[in-house]
Structure 1
Amino acid sequence: MIHTDQPDLIIVRPAPEMQLKSWQTRRRFRNILMNNMRAALGEIPHEIRVDQGRLLLRTPAVEAAAERLEHVFGVASYSPVEMVVEPTVEALCEAARDRLVDVIRGRTYAVRCKRHGGARLSTRKVEQQVGAALNPFGTVNLGEPDVRVAIDLVEDGAWVFTQRRPGPGGVPLGVQDRAVTLMSGGFDSAVAAWYTMRRGVGTDYVFCNLGGATHENMVTRIAHRLASDWAIGDRPRLFVVDFLPVVADMRARLPGEVWQVVLKRLMYRAGEGVARGIGAQALVTGEALSQVSSQTLSNLNSIDSASDLPVLRPLIGFDKTEIMKLARRIGTYELSEGVPEFCALSLSKPLVSSRRGRIDREEEQLDQSVLERAVAEAREIDLAGLTEDDLTEPDVLTDTIVADAEVIDCQPPRRFRDWHLPGATNHPPDELARRYESLPKDRPYLLYCLRGANAPVLAERMQRAGFDAHAYRGGVSKLRRAFERGDAEVAAASDEAR
């Protein structure tokens, strides 16, 4: 007979590679995995025990617990047990006809049976007879069935389940030492951090801030999402390094063509400085070979020498489409989509091929104390301790252009000539930074730039100086699409400007 009580059991299968470890290592990995599962389940009542290489989770809240397991690294797959049956062929056939007909009706299926512990029933006999009991309702396919009816024979019964839900895989978070991820807020660094955690590495984050409070808020929300959803059993931190003085020193001393490569080296040095302070063993970056000018082999060779710590690049062979797909899976896509790239660092064409000797000599011209001071003054944010108020977006960005706003285009002049919003005036970032205080304060201002990064920085400065200034969320491409669609707010503003 089928047990009348509702099954409250989930079979959890650890990553197969854990079984290849030595007994001592396997036990350590398993204990960390169990602790992380307990942390993920939190307030959900539960009991976890070991059963022949797998974990058995008992809980009255099966579906709620299952959702938590999807975020625990080291879980290869899991199966909620759908019914518990007396360990006889007759009871199993009766249960299959009563409970599984609707599941397999019109579909292909296979029955798979395994013995555990002291069970004595023939697995072959169970597969044949239960399969025959279901045969009038579906079609047998032993290769790739639509439904796999799994039966586990144990000493006190038979567990039946039809779902094998995937977990995130990898190994339990915390089996390795810590690393520091250089976080930009884009798709790449978040996915790189996820892959690193998936290999058991606890990661903290270093954000070299070039974009002010708005950019920091965006990056903080992404790091918080990674921490709350995936850093189960860990408590990561975000270190914010003010890089504006570092960039100002670099721009004043070096030719524009080397800025991208030297800036990346300086970020490596900042990351290494934080890492050594907290005992981290490596740097993690989201670099993918050939994706941008600083990620060619020769430039990566020039950049690598900036850090004595190993640099981990989980995404080195990925293309952008793959990375964005992964960002959707881990839940950071929408947050990263709104983070602009820092634009207009230099109007010079960046180097796509560099020599380490030349970059070393260029960097020697910088005032090293500027970077040292920035790292020493880095702010530490406890991601787990953030509240909703802490994550509220600053009042700088907007998706609309009101009719009475004076629109300032912050693109380089050549880009302004290519396209600009009708009625906008052109003030490139450096020029606007020097002269915005001379502008009238009796009107609102709306700023936009090529990729949406410089405008928020300048709008923040103007707000601090008493201006009613906002930045359009996103870059010129987004604004142009809105204008060409005839969005009411944009169209009204441009008509007013005319």
Structure 2
Amino acid sequence: MEVSTRYPHVIIVRLAPEILLKSPTTRRKFQKHLYENLIKGLRTQEIDFEILNHEGRMQIHTSDQEKALDVVSRTFGISSYSPIDKIIDGGLEAHKVAAVELYKDLVANKTYAVRIKRLGRKKKHSSVEMEREIGGMLNKYAKKVDLTNPEVMIKADVAGDLAYFYTKKIPGPGGFPIGIQGKALTLISGGFDSVVAAWYLMKRGALNDFVFCNLAGAAYERMVLEITKVLCDRWATGTRPKLYCVDFEGVIDNLRANSDPQYWQVILKRQMYRAGCEIAKRIGAEAIVTGEALGQVSSQTLSNLNTIDQVADVPVLRPLIGFDKEQIISDARMIGTDKLSEKIPEYCALNKRRPATKSARKNITEAELSMDFNILTEAVDNAKIYDMFNVNDQDVAQHSVFIEEIPSNAIFIDCQPESLYDEWHIAGAENYNAGQLANKMKTFVKTQPYVLYCPYGTQSAVFAERMQKAGYEAYSFKGGIKQLKRMYPNGAELDDE
């Protein structure tokens, strides 16, 4: 072990056990990937640092411990890590004196224990001997020694005359360093499932790019862009993921016009798979990844998954296939995308009445015969590509659609489900779903602003954007129903005035 005097802080990083179990050649390869990912991640924080390798672990010497710890906590391939309280040179006697100086106040009136890990071949004293000697120096300051469940655990990694003292051993994310398993392409919708699925592939060491089949316009695209940005910023340490945005508006119109409604969900997924597989081949991805969980929706029955798989010419990976929704949402909360994902409406549900839960490959292939697949090819060819680490606030800004203050002469449009509209709506607001709004829009005037609202401000954003494209001054209220109820506490009761 070495001592760097250039930096005031040191962090010990321990490799995930799966890496240490590999053959020496493979272990060195994995450790090199982790080393490179940490360097890239730390450089993004614009801090001074140095990384040293020793005995199956790493030391990060840095000028900014807080930022470095943040990077380490989200870098796959790390089992645990410890911020070092102090590095002591001089052998056992110096270690005993230092332990008293560092921890006498910490152990006051508490139970404690000392654990020593010896590293390297140069060992003057055994671990047990050092634990007894150092622990004995602290005994008069503490309540008593408790080797089973101490209130304070003091640890030190010792190599030769050097001791690295610490009290915290923080669990890392585990897994493998991103990059050691090749590249995958995740079909991302912005909901809980696809984000969590991507995270699990990243944890197993796969580089991840993303394809987004956009069913609802630019506002929806910005939502998915923001969620993907958060996922990549937090967890794709050391990589440069890309997001491919494919406009599916024409694909959906073609599907609706030329196929049986009961099969819309299955055919839509097949079209998404086709788009994903084509992009995967173009970028050298070896598999596509989906967030499908068995039985969660109509297209995710075994029968329909079998039918959908027919069009995939690269492997389809489903890391969440046996998960329940509660577990997926819990994982999204840990990942840090749950609050954004919960605002994404369910755009894939083209037929909410009686979608088929069973299908046969032959029947669906025949049902697709009337469709124009050139539309899908053109959509893939024209995909928008975002480098996620070049995405900035302007790319995800929603100021052109969202509004936080209500114009005095605004006309309200309610985009809630009818049952929620009956429970509460702003006085005078008309209630429209997507189809109704499209038919009614031509009767609207273009001399007044329209403010649309829905429970979270997301569905209304899509409708507002469509109205803007048609030449109307239309906005989605950013605060959603919760904020509007504060502004208009009486709601529809004002209708009676």
Same fold (TM over 0.5): yes
SS in 1 for 2:428: coil
Matched, 1:127 2:157: no
Question: What CA distance in whole angstroms lies between the structure 2 residues aligned with 1:105 and 1:360?
Answer: 75
Matched, 1:164 2:169: yes
Structure 1 residues 344, 113: CA separation in 2 closer, same or farther (over 3 Å shift)?
closer
Structure 1 residues 138, 317: CA separation in 2 closer, same or farther (over 3 Å shift)?
farther
Q: Deviations over 1:177-207 (max 9, x none)?
A: 1111111111221121111111111111111
Output aligned runs, 1:7-406, within 5 Å.
8-42=9-43, 43-86=46-89, 88-117=91-120, 118-136=122-140, 137-342=142-347, 345-398=350-403, 404-406=409-411
Question: What CA distance in whole angstroms lies between the structure 2 residues aligned with 1:364 and 1:147?
Answer: 70
Deviates more, 1:128-137 or 1:365-374: 128-137
Structure 1 residues 99, 428: CA separation in 2 closer, same or farther (over 3 Å shift)?
closer
Deviates more, 1:435-444 or 1:184-193: 435-444
Q: Deviations over 1:310-338 (max 9, x none)?
A: 11122222222222222222222222233
Structure 2: any 5+ residue segments left out of the alignment?
Answer: none
Structure 1 residues 419, 194: CA separation in 2 closer, same or farther (over 3 Å shift)?
same
Structure 1 residues 344, 260: CA separation in 2 closer, same or farther (over 3 Å shift)?
closer
Structure 1: any 5+ residue segments left out of the alignment?
Answer: none
Output aligned runs, 1:451-462, within 5 Å.
454-462=459-467
Give the counterpart letter for 1:127 in structure 2.
E
Deviates more, 1:416-425 or 1:27-36: 416-425
Give the counterpart letter for 2:164 in structure 1.
W
Question: What CA distance in whole angstroms lies between the structure 1 residues aligned with 2:450 and 2:228?
Answer: 31
SS in 1 for 2:47: coil
Question: What CA distance in whole angstroms lies between the structure 1 residues aligned with 2:193 and 2:346?
Answer: 12
SS in 1 for 2:252: helix
Question: What CA distance in whole angstroms lies between the structure 1 residues aligned with 2:406 and 2:188?
Answer: 31
Is the CA contact 1:197–1:203 (under 8 Å) kept in the aligned structure 2? yes
Deviates more, 1:371-380 or 1:77-86: 77-86
Deviates more, 1:101-110 or 1:414-423: 414-423
Give the counterpart letter for 1:51 in structure 2.
H
Give the counterpart letter for 1:21 in structure 2.
K
Is the CA contact 2:258–2:368 (under 8 Å) kept in the aligned structure 1? no
Question: What CA distance in whole angstroms lies between the structure 2 residues aligned with 1:174 and 1:40?
Answer: 14
Question: What CA distance in whole angstroms lies between the structure 2 residues aligned with 1:227 and 1:492?
Answer: 41
SS in 2 for 1:135: helix
Is the CA contact 1:77–1:167 (under 8 Å) kept in the aligned structure 2? yes
SS in 2 for 1:367: coil
Question: What CA distance in whole angstroms lies between the structure 2 residues aligned with 1:403 and 1:23?
Answer: 71
Give the counterpart letter for 2:486 in structure 1.
D
Q: Deviations over 1:147-203 (max 9, x none)?
A: 321122212322211111222211111111111111111122112111111111111
SS in 2 for 1:159: strand
Q: Deviations over 1:25-72 (max 9, x none)?
A: 111111111111111111322222221111122223333322221122
Is the CA contact 2:426–2:492 (under 8 Å) kept in the aligned structure 1? no
Question: What CA distance in whole angstroms lies between the structure 1 residues aligned with 2:407 and 2:436?
Answer: 24
Q: CA deviation at 1:226?
A: 2.1
Give the counterpart letter for 2:247 in structure 1.
D
Structure 1 residues 124, 412: CA separation in 2 closer, same or farther (over 3 Å shift)?
closer
Is the CA contact 1:405–1:493 (under 8 Å) kept in the aligned structure 2? no
Is the CA contact 2:215–2:347 (under 8 Å) kept in the aligned structure 1? yes
Q: CA deviation at 1:209?
A: 0.5
Question: What CA distance in whole angstroms lies between the structure 1 residues aligned with 2:264 and 2:417?
Answer: 18
Structure 1 residues 82, 453: CA separation in 2 closer, same or farther (over 3 Å shift)?
closer
Q: TM-score, normalised by structure 2?
A: 0.90
Q: TM-score, normalised by structure 1?
A: 0.89
Structure 1 residues 247, 404: CA separation in 2 closer, same or farther (over 3 Å shift)?
same
Structure 1 residues 467, 139: CA separation in 2 closer, same or farther (over 3 Å shift)?
farther
Structure 1 residues 34, 189: CA separation in 2 closer, same or farther (over 3 Å shift)?
same
Q: Deviations over 1:426-466 (max 9, x none)?
A: 43322322341231223222334688655333311211232
Match of 2:487 in 1: 488
Is the CA contact 1:76–1:166 (under 8 Å) kept in the aligned structure 2? yes
Structure 1 residues 251, 207: CA separation in 2 closer, same or farther (over 3 Å shift)?
same
**Alignment: residue pair count:** 489
Give the counterpart letter for 2:244 in structure 1.
F
Question: What CA distance in whole angstroms lies between the structure 1 residues aligned with 2:454 and 2:174?
Answer: 41
SS in 2 for 1:247: helix
Is the CA contact 1:7–1:84 (under 8 Å) kept in the aligned structure 2? no
Give the counterpart letter for 1:9 in structure 2.
V
Is the CA contact 1:400–1:490 (under 8 Å) kept in the aligned structure 2? no
Give the counterpart letter for 1:206 in structure 2.
V
SS in 1 for 2:371: coil
Q: Deviations over 1:271-313 (max 9, x none)?
A: 1111111111111111222222222222222222221211112
SS in 2 for 1:325: helix
Question: What CA distance in whole angstroms lies between the structure 1 residues aligned with 2:349 and 2:361?
Answer: 24
Question: What CA distance in whole angstroms lies between the structure 2 residues aligned with 1:139 and 1:355?
Answer: 71
Q: Deviations over 1:6-37 (max 9, x none)?
A: 86322111111111212221111111111111
Give the counterpart letter for 2:468 in structure 1.
Q
Q: Deviations over 1:456-495 (max 9, x none)?
A: 3331121123212123458xxx63x667xx4224646873
Structure 1 residues 193, 106: CA separation in 2 closer, same or farther (over 3 Å shift)?
farther
Q: CA deviation at 1:218?
A: 0.8
SS in 1 for 2:106: helix
Q: CA deviation at 1:106?
A: 4.2
